[in-house]
Amino acid sequence: MDTGTHVVMGLALGAIATLDPVVAADSATAQSVIIGTLIGSQAPDLDTILKLRNNAQYIRNHRGITHSIPAVLLWPILISAAIHLFLPEGNFFHLWLWTFIGVILHVFVDIFNAYGTQALRPFSKKWVALGVINTFDPFIFFMHIVGLIIWRYGAHPGLTFLFVYFILIVYYLVRFYLKYQVVKKVKEIIPDVTEITISPTFRFNQWHLAVTTTNFFYVARAKDNDIIIHDKFEKCPLPDSPIMEAALKDENISAFLSFSPVYRWEIDEYSDHYQVRFIDLRYRSKGYYPFVAIVQLDLELAIVSSYTGWIFSEEKLRKKLELLPN
């Protein structure tokens, strides 16, 4: 989920913690718990600082080790210990408990996005991504804001957010049902489907689709249970060639391939260089595929420049990396 939603979820969890008799009876514990749930609801996204290094490190590691089982166990201990240094009067066990729940809630809600997390590490590096909730869901955020307003005007915080979360559980079930209907419809239209990657959009009943069959990739959109196919690409394995072999050694290409399950590739040859491009098919936007990885090699197959990330025009890509002219 986005940062704003994680923040309001941290506040909501702090409100629910008031149902804990120990928290309700002690203001110092209540204060430390609300700080713990707020920090705990954000802590797994500390890996966002990898963006300061480069996109390759961010793409390869975001929602990886910081969302893993060891991290989920470690974050609450570190956060609770730090808070307890400044607020020693509070009950440490209950501080740790609610901070632990905050961290778990963060990782749990992230698996419902199309991006997903590596929440099963170290047992598996597989990305767990259920694809039923957009990274920012207006309804989820709005319900938290409503709960905070009701709390502000005197309602019991714990009971208020228990009711809010009951509504959200129903909402999640509805989203699963809608996704099931989309999958069912796709299989009726494209019978030889082997895999469907679904990305929820900002709109309630619209979904981006990347469909894999034995021989083709289909890029489509679902709107009100109608399937609109935008593009169809032949499914081509990576060539066993010196150019591709050299390109795969690049850090940006490697990071892209570690993250993207559905992509196509292109090799362009020019008079003084080669260009290899990988294009993620999950994120079509206004006829353009903005999530890419590109590498340029000289005639000796040495890497000249490369990039991976979101780019919405060839001009910006060229300026960003000072790419060789085509």
Confidence category of residue 33, pLDDT binned at 50, 70, 90: very high
Separation between Cα atoms, residue 7 and residue 62, nearest integer Å: 18
Q: What is the CA radius of gyration of the chain?
A: 23
The maximal CA–CA distance of the chain, rounded, in angstroms, is 76
- Distances in Å between the Cα of 278 and the Cα atoms of 187, 224, 244, 255, 265 are 27, 31, 11, 11, 4
Q: Which two tokens stand for residue 85?
A: 């240094």
Rounded to whole angstroms, how far apart are CA atoms 73 and 309? 31
pLDDT band at 47 (very low <50, low <70, confident <90, very high): confident
* Distances from the Cα of 155 to the Cα of 5, 81, 128, 150, angstroms: 21, 31, 37, 6
For residue 311, name the pLDDT band (cuts at 50, 70, 90).
confident
**Average pLDDT over the chain, rounded to whole?**
90
Kindly provide the b/e burial profile for residues 185-210, where b requires at least 16 CB atoms within 10 angstroms of the residue's own CB: ebeeebeebeebbbbbeeeeeebbbb
pLDDT tens for each residue of 214-242 = 999 999 999 987 999 999 999 999 999 99
Residue 320 confidence (pLDDT):
63
pLDDT in tens, 280-310: 998 888 788 888 999 999 999 999 988 888 8
Beta bridge partners of 307: 294
- Across 39-43, 115-119, 147-151, 296-300, least confident range: 115-119
Q: What is the pTM of this model?
A: 0.88
